[in-house]
Structure 1
Amino acid sequence: MTSENVIVVKAPSSKSLSHRALIAGALSEGSTVVLDPLDSNDINRTMDCLSTMGAKFNIDGTATTVTGMDGGPKGGAKEPAVLEMRDSGTTCRLITALAGAGKGLFRVQGTPRMHDRPIGALTSALESQGTKVTFSDKQGYPPVTLEASGFKGKQMDISLEESSQYLSGLLLGAPLADETTIINVIGEKAVSWPYVALTLNVMEDFRVKFEVQAKKDGVWKKTDWRKVEKVVPGEIRFVVEPSKFDRDEYRVEGDWSNASYFLAAGAVGNNPVKIEGMNVNSLQGDRAIMYILESMGAKIESDDHSVTVYPSKLHGVEVDMSKCPDLVPTVAVAAAFADSPTTITNVAHLRIKECDRLEASAAEVMRAGGKAEITADSITIIPAPLKKGERIVFDTYDDHRLAMCTAIFAMAGIESIPAEPGCVAKSFPGFWDEWEKVKKGNGC
Structure 2
Amino acid sequence: MALKITPHTLSGGVKVPPSKSLAHRAIICAALARGKSVITNIEYSKDIQATIGAMKSLGTMIFEHEDYLEIDGTTTFMKNQCEINCFESGSTLRFMVPIALICENNLHFIGEGRLGKRPLQVYYDIFEKQGISYLYRENVLDLYVRGRMHGGEFAIPGDVSSQFFSGLLFALPLMDEDSRIVVTSPMQSKGYIDLTLQMLEKFGIQIENHDYQEFIIRGGQQYCPCDYHVEADFSQAAFFLVAGALHNQVDLQDLNIDSYQGDKVVIDLLQQMGCQFGRTVSGDRMICNHLKAIHIDGSQCPDIIPIMALACALSSGTSYINNIGRLRIKECDRLSATVEVINQLGGQAREMEDAMEIYGVKKLQGGHVSSYHDHRMAMMEAIASTVCSRPVIIDDEQCVEKSYPRFWNDFQQLGGVIDECELGE
Q: Give the TM-score, by structure 2 length.
A: 0.90
Tell me what 2:378 maps to: 403
Residue matched to 1:134: 135
Question: 1:337/1:387 Cα in 2 relative to 1: closer, same or farther (>3 Å)?
Answer: closer
Counterparts of 2:89 and 2:48, CA distance in 1: 9
TM-superposed deviation, 1:112? 4.6
Q: Does the 8 A contact of 2:19 with 2:231 survive in 1?
A: yes
Q: Quick one: distance in 1 between partners of 2:188 and 2:351?
A: 19
User: Once superposed, which parts of structure 1, at least 4 consecutive aligned residues long, lie more than 6 Å away?
Assistant: none
Task: Name the CA distance, whole Å, in 2 between partners of 1:377 and 1:122.
Answer: 25
What is the DSSP-based 3-state SS (H/G/I as helix, E as strand, rest coil) of the residue aligned with 1:283? coil
What is the aligned partner in structure 2 of residue 205 from structure 1? 202
Show the 5 A alignment for 1:41-52.
41-52=46-57
Partner in structure 2 of residue 361 of structure 1 = 338
Q: What is the aligned-residue RMSD (CA, Å)?
A: 2.1
Q: Deviations over 1:247-291 (max 9, x none)?
A: 33111000000111100001102x422110110110000001101
Q: Which amino acid aligns with 1:198?
A: L
1:422 aligns with 2:398: yes
> Which residue does the alignment assign to 2:4?
none
2:246 matched to 1:268?
yes
| Structure 1: distance between partners of 2:364 and 2:282 | 36
User: Retained in 2: the 8 A contact 1:32–1:248?
Assistant: yes
Unmatched segments (≥5 aa) in structure 1: 215-230
State the alpha-carbon separation in 2 of the partners of residues 22 and 197 from structure 1: 17
Shift of 1:305: 9.6
Please give the per-residue CA displacement for 1:194-252, whole angstroms capped at 9, x wherever unaligned. Answer: 001100000000011221235xxxxxxxxxxxxxxxx4xxx333324321111331110
Shift in alpha-carbon separation, 1:322–1:148, aligned structure 2, 3 A: same
- Indicate conservation of the 8 Å contact 1:13/1:38, yes or no: yes
- Cross-structure match for 1:228: none
Are the equivalent residues in 2 in contact too, given 1:156–1:182 (CA < 8 A)?
yes
> Alignment partner of 2:415: what SS?
helix
* Mapped partners of 1:238, 1:295: distance in 2: 37
Q: Alpha-carbon deviations, 1:48-82, whole Å to 9, x = none?
A: 11111111111223220011153647431xxxx21
The answer for the alignment partner of 2:7 in structure 1 is: none
- Asked if the contact 1:209/1:241 (under 8 Å) is kept, the reply is no
Pairwise CA distance, 1:125: 2.7
Structure 2 gaps of 5+ residues are 1-9, 418-425
Deviates more, 1:406-415 or 1:305-314: 305-314
How far, CA to CA, are the matches of 1:429 and 1:33 in structure 2? Answer: 22
Report the Cα offset of residue 387 of structure 1. 4.1
1:290 & 1:32 partners in 2: Cα distance? 33
Task: Tell me, in whole angstroms, the C-alpha distance in 1 between the residues paired with 2:306 and 2:118.
Answer: 19
SS across alignment from 1:143? strand
Query: What amino acid sits opposite 1:437 in the alignment?
Result: Q
User: Following the alignment from structure 1 to structure 2, what is the Cα–Cα distance between the partners of residues 69 and 145?
Assistant: 26
User: Is the CA contact 1:171–1:240 (under 8 Å) kept in the aligned structure 2?
Assistant: no
- Structure-2 residue corresponding to 1:147: 146
CA contact (8 A) 2:29 2:200 kept: yes
Q: CA deviation at 1:116?
A: 1.5
Aligned equivalents of 2:77, 2:158: Cα separation in 1: 25
Which position in structure 2 is the counterpart of 1:170? 168
User: Between Structure 1 and Structure 2, how many residues are aligned?
Assistant: 407
Aligned-pair CA distance for 1:438: 3.2
